[in-house]
Structure 1
Amino acid sequence: MRLNDRFVPLFYLLSGLFGFAGVALAAAAAHGGGDAHLLASASAMCLAHAPALLALAFGIDKIKTAWLAGLLIGIGTLLFSADLVSLRFAGSGLFPMAAPTGGFAMMFGWLAVAAGAVFRVRP
């Protein structure tokens, strides 16, 4: 089994979980009061990155940097969203700077996608 093949199931799993969480968080934000904007932001990140992870899983043999991009986007989305959900329901975040760390991870994940244009898999 090649290294890239090991990431495909993880990307499918995260894509499905983020899609589910995104819809659930959007519903909670629509019906919640107070700090519901935190849930809306978490929902947006989950719903934006779920299809991206799915696409990276499909393109893992075509984009040399897909495994790195997927890991960064997956970990970043998880950190960012979980921190906002924790802040909303528990009153405190996961750890100091969890959301910004997740945000930076997502941004670097997208840069890894862009780097795939330069570091291409040759047929």
Structure 2
Amino acid sequence: MDLWTRILLLLAGLMGACGVAAAAVAAHVGGGATLETAAYFLILHAAAVGGLAALALQLTRGSFPLRLGASALVFGALLFSGDLSSRALLEAKLLGGSAPFGGSLMIAGWLVVAGTALVARRA
């Protein structure tokens, strides 16, 4: 397994763990619907990135754009969820425009994943 795929799987695992932790905090401590949304985005995209990384290992053609799309999902989800979590728990924005930029990055990542279907070939 190449380094890029290993890093994607590592980040997917960390995103999933953070998503579960954020959901627990939202349920038991506070943070409300905003923190719940951040948790759901982390958990959903963690599963997607894990699946995309596994699929990339099976491809001879199209693995690069698939991993690129998965990377965009990781960074987009981290920016989006990080900003929402910061707002919910610290009552402060992470960085100006982090949530919209993260959301746009996730949309772009999903479009790259969709486009990969046009060029992908199995090993």
Q: TM-score range by the shorter chain?
A: 0.7 to 0.9
Q: Taking structure 1 as the reference length, what is the TM-score of the superposition?
A: 0.87
Amino acid at match of 2:56: I
**Number of matched pairs:** 119
In 1: Cα distance, 2:3 partner to 2:115 partner: 21
TM-score normalised over the length of structure 2: 0.87
In the alignment, what sits opposite 2:100? 100
Distance, in Å, in 1 between the alignment partners of 2:120 and 2:17 is 32
Q: Deviations over 1:48-84 (max 9, x none)?
A: 0111111111111424321111110000011011111
The answer as to 2:30 corresponding to 1:28 is no
After TM superposition, the structure 1 stretch with the greater mean CA deviation from structure 2, 90-99 or 113-122, is 113-122
- Give the CA deviation at 1:5: 2.3
Structure 2: any 5+ residue segments left out of the alignment? none
Render the CA deviation track for 1:63-111: whole Å, top value 9, x for unaligned. Answer: 4321111110000011011111111222211111101110111111111
What displacement does 1:122 show?
A: 6.0
Aligned CA RMSD, in angstroms, stands at: 1.7
Q: Which has the higher strand share?
A: 2
